[in-house]
Structures are given as C-alpha cells and as structure tokens.
Amino acid sequence: MEQNKSTQANTKKDLNWAELGFQYRPTDYRFRASFVNGQWTEGELITSEMISVHEGAPALHYAQQCFEGLKAQTAPDGRVLLFRPTLNAERMRQAATRLLIPEVPEELFIRGVEAAVRANYPWIPPHGSGAALYIRPMLIGVGENLGLKPAKEFEFRVFVSPVGPYYQSAGLAVISLAVSDLDRAAPSGTGNYKIGANYAGGLLATRLAQQLGANEALFLDAAQRRYIDEAGSANIVVAMRGGRFVTPSSSAVLPSVTRRSIMTLAENELGLTIEQRPIDLRKEIDEFEEVAACGTAAVVSPVGRIWLDSKWHSFYGGGEQAGPVMQKLYELLVGIQRGELADTYGWTHEVPLD
C-alpha cells in the first residue's frame, strides 16, 4: 500500500507489474504544447492519445521530428525519480537545431515530463516491481505544407507508458547481435541525433538480424564498415581482456545517457581504465571479454554473441549468462536509478508529486 496516497486518483492501477513487457499501454494524460506565431504555448494536460495533423505535415513526409526516451522509477520511500533528465532536454534541443525545429526550452521540457508523470501517478510502477514508467517526449513539425521546407508550427508532446524489460528474461537477459550489411547513419549525417529519420531504415536491418537468430542488428561505421557504431536502439560497451573498458567514438552514434553514466561508473566504482575510441571489430573481437548494449530501454543488456562474417563469436561464458563487469554495472546503475543506492553523482531528479 502506498503511504499518504489515499485518494482514489492516486490509487495504483491493478496491473501485473512484474509481467509487463515493453509495449505501449494507454495512460490517462499526456502533456502538449504548441509552437505557433513564433512562440511556445504554456502547455496543458490532455486526455486523448490521438494527434490530428494536416495531411501535408512536414513530420509525416520529410521526418521533421525528433523524440526522447527516459524513465521514471519509484524509490523505496515512494519518491518518483527521473534519471538525468536535463541531458534528454539538451539532446532534444540539439536535434531540434539540426532539423530547423524551434528548441524546446529546458524549463518546458522538464515541466512537461513532470506533469505527464505526476498526472499518471496510478500508472507509475511501484518500487520492487522491476517495471518503470517509460516517458516519450516528442517534437513534430505540423501544419499545412507541400514542398521540402521546415514546418511553421510544431507540437511538443509527452506521453508515458508503464513498461517491463525490453528483453524478456528471468535474470539479466543475455542478447545476441548480428553485424548488418546495411548502414545506419553517415559520418556527417544525423546518426548522433534522436530523430525519426534514423530509424525507419533500420527496421529491415533488425528483421534480417532476427532471421539470423539475433535480437538486434549491430551497425558498423558507414565509411569503412570496420568500426563499431551501435545497435539499433542501444550503444555498445566492451570490457576488454586486461581491464580496459571501451566504447566507440563515432560521429554517427547517439550519445546515450545510459552509456555516459556507465562509463563513469566503470571508471569510478570498478576502477577500470575507460577509453572512448574507434573499435576495429575484426581486429579486436578476440580481445572482447564482455560486451553489452545499453540504453534507457535496454538498460545494460549483456551481449553473449555477435554474428560477423558468417559466423558467431561468443563472449563471456559462451553467452549463457552475464559476466561480472556488466552484472556489477547493471546493479550500480539500476540501484541509483531506483533510489536504492546513494546518488553520489546527483543523477536522480525527484518529480514533485503535488
């Protein structure tokens, strides 16, 4: 039972929280603000999950849109915590600038996220359930249009959905990746922004990877097809033999909040030597001790094997279980996010509940 939450509106939904997958589930409210006549409206909570847009809207034809993804989790004392949300706000501003979309100010971004979370309090999974409230801010170019040019009007919307693990499994899901023959993003393209335009082209790559028995595609750099870029929706980190902890540097990789946090934890809490540099997959794969895909949705998902040049390459324990480094990083990260461990880095952001 929740303490101090006796009103009907604040009663938790009767969901089987532990069984939730990573699926859309409609909640009661979403936040919406509009950019019209050169400025953002104050914003409001609405109930309809539908958006009515003009058939010519630039978001629909030319992918003039960007989005974000973050989670709210319940701490043992009932506080509702976001994880480093100002980094999501910053990343959305960068994407907007790249796409000639007016920036959503940090104040509006955080206020919209907090409002959507608070209004859907009954849908926030309780502490200990293993589930989280996934938050999807989005920014789309709307309004009448035909030619290739930026929209004049935009909508910023934040909806939420309670979710379970991205990869369903009893413990820490061990996944597999298949190196794709398709490219995700060009070196000076838009791979480092969270924009819809980067993802439609990856759907086929994911399908092909799954036909090989992998969970996801692994993309190499598009220029030389030699260095690791990232997976379809997650960055890659590698614990090398000898104690180095490496993540790719690439202009085409999405700057994952999860990955940046994991690198800090690997260095400060595990005492590993961290490196951000190009990883030459064929040259270095035999040095890989443990590999993981990481992101808000994937959290830290150990990678047991990678399909490369027509064969599988296995890592820690033949891919059956998480290795000690990734297991530890998962526990540290999730412990901080759920308010179970001391937040020594100041990474959590409490959502005011009234």
Torsions phi, psi for 276 (to 5 deg): -120, 110
Contact positions with ligand PLP (CB under 6 A) in 109-168: none
* 66 vs 121, beta carbon nearer ligand PLP: 66
Per annotation, catalytic residue among 194, 283, 311, 328? 194
Distance CA 178, CA 306 (A): 5
The values of phi and psi at residue 65, to 5°, are: -160, 155
CA atoms in the 13 A half-sphere facing the CB of 174: 18
DSSP category for residue 94: H
Considering the rule CB under 6 A, would residue 69 count as an interface residue with ligand PLP?
yes
Piece of 49-57, 143-151, 249-257, 316-324 that binds ligand PLP (CB under 6 A): 249-257
Question: Residue 193: phi, psi to the nearest 5?
Answer: -120, 145
Secondary element (H or E) of residue 295: strand 288-295
Instruction: Please identify, among the stretches 155-163, 173-181, 251-259, 307-315, the one whose residues bind ligand PLP according to the rule CB under 6 A.
Output: 251-259
Task: Based on the residue annotation, tell me whether 194 is a catalytic residue of this protein.
Answer: yes
Taking CB under 6 A as the rule, does residue 257 contact ligand PLP?
yes
How far apart are CB 47 and ligand PLP at their closest, in Å?
27
Q: What's the CA gap between 129 and 252, in Å, rounded? A: 35
Would you count residue 254 as binding ligand PLP (CB under 6 A)?
yes
The secondary structure of residue 227, as a DSSP letter, is B
Report in angstroms how near the CB of residue 82 gets to ligand PLP at its nearest. Answer: 12
Question: CA 226, 228, 232 angle in degrees (round to 5)?
Answer: 125
- Does residue 233 belong to the site contacting ligand PLP (CB under 6 A)? yes
Q: Other CB atoms closer than 10 Å to residue 116's CB: what's the count? A: 26
Closest to 294 in 3D by CA, of 347, 241, 247: 247
Beta carbon of residue 94, minimum distance to ligand PLP (angstroms, whole number): 12
CB of 113 to ligand PLP, least distance (A): 14
Is the Cβ of residue 70 or residue 108 nearer to ligand PLP in the bound state? 70
Q: Which of 234, 266, 292, 332 binds ligand PLP (CB under 6 A)?
A: 234
Nearer to ligand PLP, 58 or 295 (CB): 295
Q: Which is nearer to ligand PLP, 27 or 256 (CB)?
A: 256
Q: Using CB under 6 A, which of 120, 129, 235, 327 touches ligand PLP?
A: 235
With residue 70 as reference, give the H or E element that holds it: strand 70-74
CA gap 160, 105 in Å, rounded: 20
| Measured CA distances, 256 to 65, 173, 251, 273, 296 (Å) | 19, 20, 13, 20, 8
**By CB under 6 A, which span of 43-51, 148-156, 255-263, 334-342 interacts with ligand PLP?**
255-263
Task: Figure out which of the listed residues 153, 155, 183, 230 binds ligand PLP, where binding follows CB under 6 A.
Answer: 230
Cβ closest to ligand PLP, residue 122 vs residue 252: 252
Which segment (140-148, 172-180, 232-240, 264-272) binds ligand PLP by CB under 6 A? 232-240
* Residues 21, 164: Cα–Cα separation, whole Å: 4
Strand partners, 217: 178
Q: Which residues bind ligand PLP (CB under 6 A)?
A: 69, 194, 230, 233-235, 254, 256-259, 295-296
Catalytic residues: 194
